[in-house]
Amino acid sequence: MQRQWSLQAPGEPEAEPGGEELCEQEMERLCLSQQPVRVLPYAMVDKRFIRQLREPEGVKTSCWQQWRRRRQTVGRRLGEAARRLTRGCGLWEGALYEIGGLFGTGIQSYFTFLRFLLLLNLLILLLTSGFVLLPLVWLRPPDPGPALNFTLQCPGSGHLPQPGVSKFNNLLWNVFTGRAFNNTYLFYGAYRAGPESSSTYSIRLAYLLSPLACLLLCFCGILRRMVKGLPQKMFLGQDYRSPLSAKVFSSWDFCIRGQEAATIKRHEISNEFKMELEEGCHLLLLQQQTRAQRACHLLTYLRVNILIGLLVVGAISAIFWATKYSQDNKEESLFLLLQYLPPGVIALVNFLGPLLFVFLVQLENYPPNTEVNLTLIWCVVLKLASLGMFSFSLGQTVLCIGRNKTSCESYGYNACDYQCWENSVGEELYKLSIFNFLLTVAFAFLVSLPRRMLVERFSGRFWAWLDREEFLVPKNVLDIVEGQTVTWMGLFYCPLLPLLNSVFIFLTFYIKKYTLLRNSRASPRRFRASSSIFFFQLVLLLGLLLAAVPLGYVVSSLVLTVCISQSQASSRAIRRLRKQLVWQVQEKWHLVDDLSRLLPEPGSGDSLGPESPVSRGSRPRSFCPGFPCPGSPGPRPRRPGSSLEDPRVARCLSPRP
């Protein structure tokens, strides 16, 4: 007996006679269709029935059809496994689902961004280890020789104990400053390759090209993710708005069974509605503005931007002088504190700068969206400008960029003869990375946690105003982008810095999750996942371009050095050839002199006996066959019948091939 079609719900009136014909036509179409059953918009019971209709009992499918169906199933499962692998092997899936349901997709996208950076750093580490570290360990000679230990002779690279400090504290301080790892593969100085004449693999070339390859790979990954995260409204137009009725009737997931999952889903739908209403209010305010209001808004906008620009200039000037002072006073007794002076000033600038930006913007009574966007843009500029000024100031003090040699002697610039500056730059970037992570930990457990405990413990108007910390997605994104930019800048000087940054990102995920769930409150401003992802990738791309500038400068030093060295080597080779040519000419001249001494004078016959000094001085001494004779007198005309026309002499004086 044929099974009845189950699209008709129980209790509904029976279908008209024409409906049975339509149902039979639909069933016949489904039986003859090649569309996979899993993509059909029917219930599971109906899909099983359609599969039975396509494969009735007693009819066996061919081996080819079975193999093709099995191959499709295996390919689909492998594709799903590959997608899970690209998402980080399912790393933090449960935590991301919980965060997205409770706080919205905007905050969830920040934690997804952390996972993306973790995978990116692991990929960079894999490339560096595969192309540089493992070949170096495999091809390194067993006895490198004492000549390769030149980095230990440079000032500042050794582990000199600080006076008045215990051994444990001295070791701990060396770990924080990077001096404890100076002779390890963490820094540039430990990558000492032997002669490469016996090997077809050039470790030096791999070390030079691997940072460039890593930056190119990161650029492609960021660009792909940025294009994928472009907001759809950019292509649909500004007037396009998805109807709220579609979200009301199609947002709920009817597969949810647990109470906790249902609560998370309700929060997610509520956050979506809040974002829609906020965007609608913002568009309505923009449409209601007059021309005079827009002109006034433009003038105040320019004034605020000029003031904020002056603040940014002052901030990056403070970073420049802090870095210069730290490098100038390396031998002072306060060197332990001066080690972290540049990272401390950068952190202070990035903490006070946004507060001043918000204060200036709030004085003009901007709309909330304009206020947030303006502050966010200047925060991005401040972050990237501070890192750019730090790298420039470090290059000026370490490499004497834009300065003469006389003003650089106080930094040990000429004493090291360019042998230790890579380690010095790597140590500074290492300290900056360490300081950023320590600042994240300290802010989470020494500021956010006590603030939450005080707010919960006490009541009053002040504590109600203070409230819990607001979890600001842009601020956290800029912090993590700063750390990633420092990692990219250190690929040449500190090749294993991505490993350290991977550990920091892994720990930062759990620290930020704890801060969000326990110590913070969600921001009243909602962010869409698409807009957030696009903004994150854009800032990350700017950081990548900033990190590529000093690396490109170093590579172009290296390229120019190679070209100049080749030119000098060619000049030396030309000078050697000229000297060899002169030597050969002189050798032939001495040969002519010796032969002319042995040859008889005209009229003395063919005997080769001894000759008198008078006859020796009367012979021509300028005969130099085929070659110029520098400094020699010009040749005299030969006398007829001279013995130099003898074929035996001509054969002896002919130039050698």
Per residue in 530-564, pLDDT (tens digit) is 667 788 888 999 999 999 988 888 888 788 888 88
The rounded distance, in Å, linking the Cα atoms of 121 and 495 is 11
Q: What residue has token string 């006996």?
A: 609
Task: Indicate the pLDDT class of residue 378, thresholds 50, 70 and 90.
Answer: confident
More confident residue, 623 or 457: 457
Q: What is the pLDDT of residue 228?
A: 76
> Could you give phi then psi for residue 643, rounded to 5 degrees?
-70, -10
CA proximity to 412, closest of 328, 321, 323, 337: 328
Whether residue 428 has pLDDT greater than 90: no
Q: What is the pLDDT of residue 227?
A: 81
The rounded distance, in Å, linking the Cα atoms of 642 and 10 is 135
Whole-number average pLDDT of the chain? 75
| Count of other CB atoms within 10 angstroms of residue 311 | 18
Which stretch of 9-18, 223-232, 345-354 has the lowest confidence by average pLDDT?
9-18
| Count of other CB atoms within 10 angstroms of residue 318 | 16
342 neighbors 432 (Cβ within 8 angstroms): yes
Mean pLDDT calculated for residue range 15-25: 59
Instruction: Give CA separation, 604 vs 122, 615, 643, in Å.
Output: 94, 11, 10
Whether residue 182 has pLDDT greater than 60: yes
The rounded distance, in Å, linking the Cα atoms of 358 and 356 is 5
Q: Which residues pair with 469 in a beta bridge?
A: 520
Q: Which two tokens stand for residue 626?
A: 């085929």
More confident residue, 336 or 99: 99
SS3 192: coil
The rounded distance, in Å, linking the Cα atoms of 225 and 533 is 8
Highest mean pLDDT among 120-134, 522-536, 590-604: 120-134
90 neighbors 81 (Cβ within 8 angstroms): no
The rounded distance, in Å, linking the Cα atoms of 484 and 465 is 35
Q: What is the pLDDT of residue 4?
A: 45
Highest mean pLDDT among 152-156, 204-208, 443-447: 443-447
Which stretch of 83-92, 265-274, 453-462 has the lowest confidence by average pLDDT?
83-92
More confident residue, 259 or 484: 484
Q: What is the pLDDT of residue 450?
A: 92
| Count of other CB atoms within 10 angstroms of residue 380 | 19
Q: What is the pLDDT of residue 213?
A: 92
The amino acid present at 555, given as its one-letter code, is V
Whether residue 52 has pLDDT greater than 80: no
Mean pLDDT calculated for residue range 324-343: 69
Instruction: Give CA separation, 330 vs 122, 333, 405, 408, 412, in Å.
Output: 35, 9, 19, 14, 11
Whether residue 609 has pLDDT greater than 60: no
Q: What is the pLDDT of residue 526?
A: 64
Whether residue 513 has pLDDT greater than 90: yes
Q: Which two tokens stand for residue 211?
A: 């940072």
User: What sign does the CA torsion over 44, 46, 47, 48 have?
Assistant: positive
Element (H or E) spanning 471, and its range?
A: strand 469-471
The rounded distance, in Å, linking the Cα atoms of 312 and 360 is 13
Q: What is the pLDDT of residue 190?
A: 82
CA proximity to 139, closest of 67, 94, 206, 90: 206
Task: Indicate the pLDDT class of residue 85, thresholds 50, 70 and 90.
Answer: low
543 neighbors 481 (Cβ within 8 angstroms): yes
Whether residue 1 has pLDDT greater than 60: no
User: What sign does the CA torsion over 288, 293, 298, 304 have?
Assistant: negative
Mean pLDDT calculated for residue range 85-102: 76
Task: Indicate the pLDDT class of residue 286, thresholds 50, 70 and 90.
Answer: confident
Whether residue 651 has pLDDT greater than 60: no
Burial class (CB in 10 A: 0-12, 13-18, 19+), 620: middle
178 Ramachandran zone, left/alpha/beta (phi>0; psi -120 to 50): left
Q: Which residues pair with 471 in a beta bridge?
A: 522
Q: What is the pLDDT of residue 445?
A: 93
